[in-house]
Amino acid sequence: MRGKKMRYHLRMHSPIRLALAALILLPLATVHANAVLQPTCTISLAQWESPDRTRALLGDPALRILVRAWQKQPDSHLRIDYPVGEQGALWSSRMQAWLVAFGIPRAAVRLQPGSGSDALSLSLRLAQGHA
């Protein structure tokens, strides 16, 4: 009798295990266009307003890692989420120009209002249509 209970128990858990595995693995296998890739970087107002801005920004390891990651995936783009308003738009445009000056094509940098903070949030995104 014990053998029957064990087989029934295993048969019931097998579909449950498969369903759980599918629920866990499916989101990992599905990459949406424009998905955020690692790494990301945050540029604070203090970093930006530093007397030696270039040194401060180039000294940020997260920004260096982000740029290197873009170089390895040039079909992706860098997205700059910035604070809403005129100051945020101006700041993001200047950050875009700074990145262009260091070799990233302007077309590879996208500006997006609404960072929700007093900082620029930079992230690497997959290009549209690349899943």
Cα-based distances in Å from 98 to 4, 14, 62, 92, 112: 70, 55, 16, 10, 17
- Is residue 80 within 8 A of residue 120, CB to CB? The reply is yes
Residue 4, class by beta-carbon neighbours within 10 Å (0-12 exposed, 13-18 middle, 19+ buried)?
Answer: exposed
For 60-103, write each residue's pLDDT tens digit. Answer: 999 999 999 999 998 999 999 999 999 999 999 999 999 999 89
Where residue 8 falls among pLDDT bands split at 50, 70, 90?
A: low
Peptide bond into 51 cis (omega under 30): no
Q: How many residues does the chain have?
A: 131
0.75 exceeded by pTM = no
For 38-68, write each residue's pLDDT tens digit. Answer: 668 999 988 889 889 889 898 999 999 999 9
